[in-house]
Amino acid sequence: MNRHHQEILEAIHANSGTPTQHTFLDRYLGNKYPKYAIDNPTLRRIAKGWMRDNLNLSPREFKTVISSLVKGRSGTEKMIAGMILDVSKPAQRNFKPAIFDQWLNYIQGWALVDSLCTGSYTADELPRQWRDWKKLLIKLSKSNNINKRRASLVLLCSPVRRHHEKKLAEVALANIDRLKYEKEILITKAISWLLRSLVKHHKKMVTEYLNKNKSTLPAIAVRETIRVIKTGKKSVGI
C-alpha cells in the first residue's frame, strides 16, 4: 500500500465503521470482499477531495495509486478507485489501456466492474487512444473471466453515448455478437445497457442489428432496446 492509498483509506476509516461482510450484499453485488459502512455520495466526496489535493501527480504515480486501490482488501477501496478515475484530470490519464486487463483480475461483480469501467474517464480516453482500446476490448470479450467479458461491453457504454464515431459502434456490436449466447445476467444486462446506449447516435444500425439477431440476443436486451427506440426515453440498468 503506497502513501496515497493510505491517505484515502484513512479518509474512508474516518467516515465509516469497521468493514464487514453481508450475505445479501455479497450475493447482490457479486463479490465477497469486506465492505465499509459508507454510502456512495460520501465516497465520491472523498474521491473528489483527494483528487483536488493531488493534481500534480504524474500519470505513472496516478496509475500506481489506482493499482494499489484495486488490489485493496475491501470492496470499498476497489469502488473508490473507479470514482477517482472518473474525477481525474486529463494530465493524469496518459497511461496505456492495457493496465485494465491487470486491474480486472482483482475485480468481481457488476458494481465494481461498472465503477472501474464507466464514466467520464472511458468516455474521454477510448476515442483518444482508440487503437490500443480496440485491441483491449476485443481481448476482454474473449476472456475466460466473466468480469472481463462484462467489462468489454460496459467500457463502451459511456463513449458511444457521448461520441458518434461509427468505429466505436462497430466494435460494440461485434463484442455483443460474440457474447450474445451467454445466459448469465452479468452479461445479458450489459448487452442490454450497451445496445440502449448505442441508440442515441446509431439508432438505424441498432435497429438493423436487432432485426437480424432478435432470436439469438437475450430477450431482455431486445425488449429494453426496442422500448428505448420507440419511446426515446432513457433507460439505464446493470
What percent of the chain stands above pLDDT 90? 82
> Which one of 64, 95, 126 terminates a domain?
95
- Residue-level pLDDT at 21: 66
In the chain, how many domains are there? 2
- Residue-level pLDDT at 234: 60
Kindly indicate the confidence band of residue 17, based on its pLDDT and cuts at 50, 70 and 90: confident
Sign of the dihedral through C-alpha 136, 131, 83, 63: positive
159, 44: one domain: no
Question: Which stretch of 15-19, 51-55, 102-106 has the lowest confidence by average pLDDT?
Answer: 15-19
78, 172: one domain: no
In a domain, 104, yes or no: no
Assign residue 180 the CATH number of its domain: 1.25.10.90
At residue 230, what is the residue type?
Answer: K
123, 224: one domain: yes
Tell me the average pLDDT across 16-33: 71
- 46 pLDDT above the threshold of 90: yes
Kindly indicate the confidence band of residue 20, based on its pLDDT and cuts at 50, 70 and 90: confident
In a domain, 234, yes or no: yes
- 91 pLDDT above the threshold of 90: no
134, 210: one domain: yes
- Residue-level pLDDT at 25: 62
In a domain, 100, yes or no: no
What does pLDDT average to over the chain? 92
208, 140: one domain: yes
85, 183: one domain: no
- Residue-level pLDDT at 142: 98
- 169 pLDDT above the threshold of 80: yes
What percent of the chain stands above pLDDT 70? 94
In a domain, 147, yes or no: yes
98-121 burial, b if ≥16 CB within 10 A, otherwise e?
eebeebbebbbbbbbbbbbbbbeb
50, 121: one domain: no
- 237 pLDDT above the threshold of 60: no
In a domain, 55, yes or no: yes
Q: How many CA atoms lie within 13 A of 82 on its CB side?
A: 23
- Residue-level pLDDT at 19: 72
- Residue-level pLDDT at 235: 52
45, 128: one domain: no
* Alpha-carbon gap, residue 44 to 234, rounded angstroms: 24
- Structural domain including 173 reads 110-238
In a domain, 210, yes or no: yes
The pTM assigned to this predicted structure is: 0.91
215, 147: one domain: yes
At residue 149, what is the residue type?
Answer: R
77, 170: one domain: no
Kindly indicate the confidence band of residue 65, based on its pLDDT and cuts at 50, 70 and 90: very high
Q: Find, among 100, 220, 76, the residue nearest to 151 by Cα.
A: 100
> Which one of 69, 95, 121 terminates a domain?
95
224, 130: one domain: yes
CB atoms within 10 A of CB 123: 18
> Which one of 95, 122, 145 terminates a domain?
95
In a domain, 105, yes or no: no
130, 206: one domain: yes
**Could you report the per-residue pLDDT of 117-140, keeping only the tens digit for each?**
998 899 999 999 999 999 999 999
In a domain, 179, yes or no: yes
- Residue-level pLDDT at 31: 73
